[in-house]
């Protein structure tokens, strides 16, 4: 990995473990952010409140279940619209919206959460919002009048929305990083395929692919969270991510199935989960990546040769079901044997038959030809 890529990845938060670097990994918080993203009626109302120089405390949940917190206020049951939200925000007190965001249930409510609940907030509105969120399952939105910021409180989570221009700039930077990772991943995948057909794969070649694939997947996840926050502003970016990511998760799983010491199964599945949980620095350590595949740290990845089982290559043959791929790999024991297998050998595998055996032989031939062309173009 280049020094430039390391700096970029570091700026995206990959120097920390996944649970530390982005609170939006919490599914409930991410869903809440999506509910107030640009393009929604709620976000329009919030933006109108900010533009008017007003503040607000908005609680979204079961209005009656939350009533034990209320002191004063008025019951409205007014249809929810951005305009109505803006108008009622001119009054003091909290605004209570129902879960479905179809009704403004109560307005001008003074909330009385448990004062013993710990809060690090300094402002009265934010402190109340944090305590209400911790005490209940409601989504609480605090709009600061002075700072013109929007802060979400969901359970113990706190997240302050950045201006759309800031999120767009960060997302475009991440998109450029994903393009770089995608290009490098394509290169190492092409090299791995060539080495597999030559039966000359070193463990290092496999670990590089896993490293690049994981970096691509993490960057794509980061962008996807940004796109949810961007709402309607992130549609085009999301389309680019889908195109760039392609079948990286499938490639990653196939590589693990091909090269895990224990073969495909529960241990390979656990290795994939562990790969996603690695910190950025651990992801740079080949010894750690080798351990995930069942190799001891004493193994030198550069010198240790490994043999592909054939899952990844066979997955690139059109209309070949995973169950058939699994049986071919199990019966013929390795990609080299599959490549050298005759029509009759392939037909003998359960579920293959004459047509599929012909497709497999032709598919392998085409993959070898395409790989030679791809490698030539990269020179």
**What is the pLDDT at residue 370?**
76
Helix boundaries (H) for the chain: 3-11, 18-21, 27-35, 41-51, 82-88, 124-135, 164-197, 203-230, 235-245, 248-259, 266-277, 280-283, 286-292, 311-315, 322-332, 335-340, 343-347, 353-378
Q: Which two tokens stand for residue 37?
A: 């993203």
**What is the pLDDT at residue 9?**
45
Residues 145 and 209 in one domain: no
Domain boundary pick from 114, 136, 160:
160
Q: Which two tokens stand for residue 100?
A: 């479905």
Whether 159 and 152 have beta carbons less than 8 Å apart is answered as yes
Helix (H, G, I), strand (E, B) or coil at 68: helix
**pLDDT for 42 beyond 50:** yes
For 74-80, what is the mean pLDDT?
Answer: 94
Q: How do residues 297-320 score in pLDDT, each as one tens digit? A: 999 999 999 999 999 999 999 989
Whether 28 and 60 have beta carbons less than 8 Å apart is answered as no
- The CATH number of the domain where 221 resides is what? 1.20.1260.110
Q: What percent of the chain has pLDDT over 70?
A: 92
**What is the pLDDT at residue 257?**
96
Whole domain around residue 272: which residue ranges? 165-378
Residues 110 and 239 in one domain: no
Whether 313 and 196 have beta carbons less than 8 Å apart is answered as yes
**pLDDT for 2 beyond 70:** no
Residues 124 and 195 in one domain: no
- The CATH number of the domain where 120 resides is what? 3.40.1700.10
Total structural domains within the chain: 2
Phi, psi of 330 (to 5 degrees): -65, -40
- pLDDT band at residue 7 under the 50/70/90 scheme: very low
Residues 111 and 222 in one domain: no
Residues 185 and 331 in one domain: yes
- In angstroms, the CA 220 to CA 257 distance is 23
For 212-227, what is the mean pLDDT?
Answer: 95
Within-domain flag for 28: no
- In angstroms, the CA 80 to CA 296 distance is 61
Whether 297 and 291 have beta carbons less than 8 Å apart is answered as yes
Q: How do residues 95-136 score in pLDDT, each as one tens digit? A: 999 999 999 999 999 999 999 999 999 889 999 999 999 999
Please return the burial class of 312, using the count of CB atoms within 10 Å of its CB with bins 0-12, 13-18 and 19+.
buried
DSSP annotation of 102 = -
Domain boundary pick from 160, 185, 201:
160
Write down the pTM of the prediction.
0.83
Q: Which two tokens stand for residue 369?
A: 């030809």
Q: How do residues 275-295 score in pLDDT, each as one tens digit? A: 999 998 999 999 999 999 999
**What is the pLDDT at residue 303?**
92
Alpha-carbon Rg of the chain, whole angstroms? 27
Residue among 91, 37, 362 at smallest CA distance from 229: 37
Whether 93 and 109 have beta carbons less than 8 Å apart is answered as yes
**What is the pLDDT at residue 333?**
83
Q: For 205-222, give the DSSP string.
A: HHHHHHHHHHHHHHHHHH
């Amino acid at each position: 990995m280049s020094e430039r890529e390391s700096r970029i990845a570091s700026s995206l938060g990959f120097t920390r473990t996944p649970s530390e670097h982005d609170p939006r990994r919490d599914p409930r918080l991410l869903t809440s952010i999506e509910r107030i993203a640009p393009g929604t009626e709620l976000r329009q109302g919030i933006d109108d409140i900010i533009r008017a120089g007003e503040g607000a405390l908005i609680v979204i949940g079961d209005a009656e279940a939350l009533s034990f917190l209320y002191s004063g206020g008025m019951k409205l049951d007014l249809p929810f619209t951005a305009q109505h939200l803006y108008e009622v925000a001119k009054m003091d007190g909290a605004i209570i919206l129902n879960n479905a965001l179809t009704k403004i249930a109560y307005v001008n409510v003074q909330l009385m959460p448990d004062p013993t609940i710990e809060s690090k907030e300094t402002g009265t509105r934010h402190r109340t919002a944090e305590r209400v969120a911790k005490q209940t399952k409601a989504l609480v939105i605090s709009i600061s009048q002075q700072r013109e910021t929007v802060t979400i409180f969901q359970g113990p989570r706190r997240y302050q929305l950045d201006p759309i221009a800031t999120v767009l700039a960060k997302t475009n930077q991440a998109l450029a990083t994903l393009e770089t990772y995608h290009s490098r991943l394509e290169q190492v995948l092409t090299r791995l395929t060539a080495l597999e057909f030559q039966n000359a794969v070193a463990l290092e070649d496999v670990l590089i692919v896993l490293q690049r694939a994981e970096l691509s997947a993490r960057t794509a996840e980061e962008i996807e969270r940004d796109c949810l926050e961007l709402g309607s502003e992130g549609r085009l970016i999301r389309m680019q991510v889908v195109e760039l990511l392609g079948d990286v998760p499938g490639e990653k799983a196939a590589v693990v199935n091909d090269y895990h010491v224990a073969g495909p199964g529960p241990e390979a599945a656990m290795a994939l989960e562990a790969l996603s949980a690695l910190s950025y620095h651990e992801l740079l350590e080949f010894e750690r990546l080798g351990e995930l595949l069942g190799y001891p740290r004493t193994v030198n990845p550069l010198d240790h040769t490994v043999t592909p089982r054939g899952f990844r290559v066979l997955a690139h043959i059109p209309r070949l079901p995973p169950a058939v791929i699994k049986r071919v790999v199990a019966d013929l024991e390795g990609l080299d044997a599959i490549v050298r297998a005759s029509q009759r050998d392939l037909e003998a595998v359960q579920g293959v038959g004459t047509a599929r055996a012909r497709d497999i032989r032709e598919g392998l031939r085409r993959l070898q030809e395409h790989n030679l062309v791809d490698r030539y173009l990269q020179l």
